[in-house]
Amino acid sequence: MQAILKKSDAAEPFTFAFLNGDGKSVLRSENYKAKSSATNGIESVKKHCVDDARYELKEAKNGKLFFNLKSSNGQVVATSAMFDSAADRDACIAELKSDGPGADLDDQT
């Protein structure tokens, strides 16, 4: 698993994503003003992804399933991709719990 840190031309330019071994995005952050805040978000994902209590399972209006990963203060750190089934969502969570803590950082800023 890999954590990708990116910068855009947006007002809050820093974002990150966690990619699985196939290079597919499994988690994506919101935008941050400061690089250090985005880096802290990555570390929060690595720390909290092993804890079942940090996962908020959700369903979108279109019926697709996803999850939010929350920090210890209850703030959403990152949101998953959309899934067609609970089995696919749960498999993604299992992969994140297994491989997320050791994710390599690719700083593309």
pLDDT interval class at 21 (50, 70, 90) = confident
Please give the DSSP secondary-structure letter assigned to residue 50: T
- What fold is seen in the domain 2-101? PH-domain like (2.30.29)
Strand partners, 55: 69
Structure tokens at 105: 């950082």
- Tens of pLDDT, residue by residue over 75-108, are 999 999 999 999 999 999 999 999 999 999 999 9
pLDDT interval class at 45 (50, 70, 90) = very high
Q: Identify the residue whose tokens are 């089934």.
A: 85
Instruction: List the one residue out of 23, 27, 22, 52 whose CA is nearest residue 38.
Output: 27
| 77, 69 Cβ separation under 8 angstroms | yes
**Cα–Cα distances in angstroms (integers) from residue 34 to residues 40, 86, 91, 92, 103, in the given order:** 10, 35, 32, 28, 21
